[in-house]
Amino acid sequence: MHYHRFSGQTLIEMALALPILLTLVIGLFIVGQIILTHYAVNKAVRAAVHQAALTGGNRTATETAAYRELSGSLGIDPKTGEVVISCPNRPCRRYDPITVEIRYRVALWAPTALLPFGDEIVVRASATRAAERDQQ
C-alpha cells in the first residue's frame, strides 16, 4: 500500500495534537504542585500538633514549629498559612486532646474555580497531651 501525503497534512495533525499534549503537560505540573503543597502543609501540621502536645498548646511554640516546616518546603510561602489551635480546656491539661489546623492559601497556576478545594488547603491533626508540664 502506498499512502499519498497531502501538502500541509503534518502541520494540521500537529496543530490538532499540540493543544492536547500541552494541556496534559501543564495539568501534570499543576497536579504535582497541589500534591507538593498538600504534603508540605501536612508535614507542618504534624510538627505543630506534636509541639502543641508537648507545650500544652502554647501558641508561640506551635506556630513557630508550623512556620519552620512551611518555610523549609519548596515553593511554599509561610505567610499565607494560618495556624488554629483548639483544646477543650484552657490551658490544655494532661490527657486533653489538642487539635491543630493549618489553613494555607494556595497560589496555583490553574484557575482556582476549576479546583475542588478552591484556593485553600486545610489540614487538621490531633494529639493527646501526655506530658505533665502544666503551669498553674
> Which residues have C-beta within 8 Å of that of residue 127, sequence separation ≥ 6?
49, 50, 52, 53, 97, 98, 100
Q: Cβ(117)–Cβ(108) under 8 Å?
A: no
Question: What are 8-26's pLDDT values in tens digits?
Answer: 888 888 999 999 999 899 8
Structure confidence at residue 42 as a pLDDT band (50, 70, 90):
very high
Question: How many other CB atoms are there within 10 angstroms of residue 81's CB atom?
Answer: 24
What percent of the chain stands above pLDDT 70? 82
Structure confidence at residue 45 as a pLDDT band (50, 70, 90):
very high
Q: What is the mean pLDDT of residues 130-134?
A: 58
Average pLDDT, the chain: 82
pTM: 0.76
